[in-house]
Amino acid sequence: MRFHILLNNDDYFAMNEYLQMYSPTGKKQILIGRFLTAIFSVFLFLFVFLMGVRGRLMIIETIVLIVLSVYNFFAYPKTVKKGLRRKVDQVCKTGKLPYDPDSVVDFTEECIFEYSPVSSHRFEYRDIHSIANIDGYIILLFSPIQGIILPLRCLEGREAELMALLNAKRGQQ
């Protein structure tokens, strides 16, 4: 099974968004980020309390810290996405794309080949760490930072056939 894959910055962003927001490592980082803000607020409250501030200022500080902590807890994923989008755009503006925009991915009986004008890679089916089937993409992850982005628009309607092959090959290993 052979597919001609044409990628753009949005495709690259989608893969990085998945890694940052939905992978086990990414979820853990987001949870840590959310709780660090709450912990910082508690330490700031204790610092101000120990400095001897009392009365209205203490009540205002408590309300502000609670509101900021709750807001950050819920807004943190959006903040991460915005930062990620900025980083992807920055990297792509340098002219050195972190992905091959035009490649051919060949799924053979033995392994997966990825060919592009710049490079070629060979991956064993047993090396697939996980398969992410997200909105508009199938992402084959070989490590936390290496994978193949397969936009559904490039799969010619053969997603089910591809998934059956990948599941069969991974099950054989």
Query: What percent of the chain clears pLDDT 70, i.e. is strictly above it?
Result: 99
> Do 86 and 109 lie in a common domain?
no
pLDDT at position 20 is 82
> Do 25 and 78 lie in a common domain?
yes
CA pseudo-torsion sign 149, 152, 155, 158:
positive
Candidate from 8-12, 90-94, 120-124, 151-155 with smallest mean pLDDT: 90-94
- The domain containing residue 115 runs over which residues? 2-7+99-172
Q: Which two tokens stand for residue 37?
A: 């803000």
> Do 83 and 112 lie in a common domain?
no
> Do 81 and 111 lie in a common domain?
no
- C-alpha distances (whole Å) from 102 to each of 7, 37, 158 are 6, 42, 19
Q: Is 24's pLDDT higher than 80?
A: no
> Do 70 and 133 lie in a common domain?
no
Mean of per-residue pLDDT scores for the chain: 86
pLDDT at position 48 is 81
Instruction: Tell me which of 105 and 37 has the higher pLDDT.
Output: 105
Question: What is the Cα–Cα distance from 159 to 139, expressed in whole angstroms?
Answer: 12
Closest CA to 134 of 3, 20, 1: 20
> Do 78 and 117 lie in a common domain?
no
Average of pLDDT values for 54-81? Answer: 85
pLDDT at position 61 is 83
pLDDT at position 172 is 57
Q: Is 173's pLDDT higher than 60?
A: no
Are the C-beta atoms of 1 and 107 separated by less than 8 Å? Answer: yes
Average of pLDDT values for 119-147? Answer: 88
